A and B are shown apart, each in its own frame.
Chain A
C-alpha cells in the first residue's frame, strides 16, 4: 500500500502542547485506512498493524476512512517520529527525503504481542 504522511488539525494543536503528550503520541501513531481495505485485512478500528517500508517498520493503530475520502491502497498518517522511521536517508541529490507516497507492507499485529 502507499503511505502519505501529512499534517492534521489535531496533530497541529497537540504538538503545541508537547510532542511527548498523550494526545500528540496518539495522533502520530494512528494510521488512517480505507474501510474496505481494513475489512479485507480483517481489521477494525483501533487494531494494531505493522507498516514495513524499505527503510524501517513501525506498529500503529488503524482507523477507518470512507472509500470516497481515502482511495483503496492509500494510507494516511500524521507526521511524527513514527512516520519518520519509515523514511530513507537518500534524497536523490535534492535534500528532500521521500516523505509522502512511501510503499509499505501492512500486516495485522495480534493484541498481546509485545513490540
Chain B
C-alpha cells in the first residue's frame, strides 16, 4: 500500500443481496485499487479487491477495439433493426440503468427480462398467486426468535446474513443474539450453514413441497401419516416438533433459497412456503423472504414492475406490457431460437444458461455491457466496458428486503456507467426508429 490513500466510510457492497452499507474502504490512489474493506465478508473483500481499474478496451466490435460512441452506434443499429430483440440481465447494475433498459425495450417493442427468471422468478410467480407476509431484515434482526433457512447456504453465499441481520445479531427484543433465537436449517445436504443451526432437517431431493404441505397440515391440526418419512426422509416427529415451534414462537421467519426454485416444483415450492407463513399468522407473527443473490436483482424486480407492472419476462411488442414466464423469459426465448438480437447487461448467460440458449446466442448479434470480460462479452458482436456499480458508479440499489440504498462509490473509473451508455443508446435508437416502434398490428393496418 502506498502512502497516498484515502478512506470512504459507510460505502455499500453490491456483491450479494445483503447489500451491506457499513463498508469502510481504503483506496490506494497510486494503484487505483481498494486495498482494505473493513467490515466486509470474504465475498465482499474479493469483490472490492478484484474490481480495481483494469486496462481494458472501451469497447469491441467484432473483436476489434472501438470507442464507446462507436459501440453505442453499432448497438443502436442492431436494436433498431431487430424484429424480436430481447434485453436481459440487469441484476448487477443500478436502478437508474435499469430504467434506461426498460425504456429501450419499450422503444424497440422488445422483451425485457432479468436474472430473476433463473433465480427467484418462480417465487415471483408464487407472490402473485399466494401473496407475501414480509418484513425487512431490520425487523428480523430486532424481533425474530425463530429463524428457518430453507434450501439455501448463506454461510457461503451471504455470510453476513447470519452475523449482521439474523442469527448472531443482537436486537431490541432478542438482546442476547443467538441465545434468544432458535435456528433451523432445511436442506438436502449438510452445508457449512448447518454449523449455526440448532436443528438440521435433511430432506430428500425434490421433496420440499411434500414437507411444506405436511407442515401446513400439522399447523392446522390435521392428520399426517407417518409414511411421510419414507417419502421425504423427515420423520413425523421432527415435523410435529417443527410445527409446534413455529406456532409457539413470537416472531418467526422463513428465509428461502434456490433449493426451492431451481428444482422440481419450482413456483409450487415457493408458493407452499409462502402459504405456510401466511397460515402461521393465525397463531403468531410469521414472515417469509427469498434470499436474493445479486446486489441489485431486487432493484431489477422493482424497476421493471414500476415501469411495466410486472417483475420480469415482459414483452412490449404490442405496445403494452405482457407478462408470461415460459414465453417471454430469456431461457425460453433463446432456447426456442426466437430472438434475433440480444442485449445483455451485467450478466453472463453464456456461462450459466442451458446449451440450446447459448447456441442461439452464438447465432444472433449480441450486445454486452460488463466491467469484466465474460463468456457473454466474448461471444458478443458489440462488447462495451462499463464501470462497476457501487465501486465506481453511484446510484440506487435495493437490498433483498426491498429497502432502497444509495451507493457511495470509492474509485473513479475511466469507463462510463451502464446508465450513461444506455441513455445514449436509447436516444440513438429513438432517432433511428423515429420515436417508439409502432406495434405490428398498427403497422399492418397502416400498410393495408
Contact = CB atoms under 8 A, between A and B. Distances in A.
Given A4-B205, A100-B262, A100-B263, A55 B355 contact: yes
Query: Could you say which interface size class chain A belongs to?
Result: 35 or more
Interface stretch (A38-46, A91-99, A105-113): A91-99
A76 B188 CA distance: 11
B157 A74 contact: no
Interface stretch (B66-74, B368-376, B393-401, B411-419): B368-376
A9 B43 contact: yes
Contacts of B45: 13
A59 interface: no
Contact of A19 (B192, B357, B375): B375
B213 interface: no
Contact of A89 (B122, B157, B354): B354
B122 A94 contact: yes
B179 interface: no
Nearest to B121: A95
B150 interface: no
Tell me if A's interface is mostly helix, strand, loop or mixed. loop
B373 A20 contact: yes
A68 B190 contact: yes
B354 A55 contact: yes
B256 interface: no
Interface residues of B, number: 61
Interface stretch (B133-141, B243-251, B323-331, B421-429): B323-331
B49 A16 contact: yes
A74 B49 contact: no
Interface string B1-39: 000000000000001000000000000000000000000
A95 B331 contact: yes
A95 B206 contact: no
Interface in B312-356: 312-313, 325-327, 329-332, 334-336, 348, 351-356
Contacts of A85: 355
Given A89-B331, A94-B266, A7 B121 contact: no
B205 A2 contact: yes
Contacts of A5: 262
B156 interface: yes
Contacts of A87: 353-355
A9 B42 contact: yes
B153 A95 contact: no
27 contacts: A6-B153, A6-B258, A7-B293, A13-B45, A13-B46, A16-B47, A19-B375, A20-B373, A69-B191, A71-B202, A74-B205, A79-B352, A84-B354, A84-B358, A88-B356, A91-B325, A91-B326, A94-B122, A94-B125, A94-B325, A96-B121, A96-B262, A96-B266, A96-B325, A97-B331, A98-B262, A101-B206
Interface of A: 2, 4-9, 12-14, 16-20, 55-56, 68-71, 74, 76, 79-81, 84-85, 87-101
